[in-house]
Amino acid sequence: MRGLLIEVPPPSDFDPNRRWALHPRVALRPEPFGALAYHYGNRRLNFLRSPDLVALIEGLGEHPSVEAALDASHVPPARRPAFRAALARLASSNFLTAVPSAPPSGGDRG
């Protein structure tokens, strides 16, 4: 997919305040330009043309939200809209998947 870091409005179902992760059926192959992402389920191939984007995607599931992952990856504020748009496009192609929120801890069990 060409131009993943071009600003485009994200799909409406992509919420950067949610936790997202690389889909379990997606493999990343490092390349000098960034990485190749291959989805074994839908057989799609994506070219990730930014090493910074690749690093963000690799650690995405370790953070409670995209915004927290952007903070942890030290992505400058001026580049964040483009990164959000790239992640939204990857999510719309099933390269990323929303991670369900953890249920509240035990607490009162009656």
Q: What are the tens digits of pLDDT across the range 7-66?
A: 544 455 899 999 999 999 999 999 999 999 999 999 999 999 999 999 999 999 999 999
Answer yes or no: is 12 within a domain: no
Contacts for 100 with CB less than 8 Å, ≥ 6 apart: none
Question: In the 8-state DSSP scheme, what is residue 57?
Answer: H
The number of distinct structural domains making up the chain is 1
CATH number reported for the structural domain that contains residue 70 in this entry: 3.90.930
What domain range is 56 assigned to?
Answer: 20-98
Instruction: Quote the Cα angle for 43-65-81, to 5°.
Output: 75
> Tokens standing for 93?
């192609």
- What is the pLDDT at residue 10? 47
- What is the pLDDT at residue 1? 47
Answer yes or no: is 13 within a domain: no
Answer yes or no: is 48 within a domain: yes
Residue 105's identity, in one-letter code, is S
Answer yes or no: is 85 within a domain: yes
Of the pLDDT bands very low, low, confident and very high (cuts 50, 70, 90), residue 110 is very low
Q: What are the tens digits of pLDDT across the range 49-105?
A: 999 999 999 999 999 999 999 999 999 999 999 999 999 999 999 999 999 876 556
Contacts for 10 with CB less than 8 Å, ≥ 6 apart: 16, 84, 85, 87, 88, 89
Contacts for 7 with CB less than 8 Å, ≥ 6 apart: 81, 82, 85
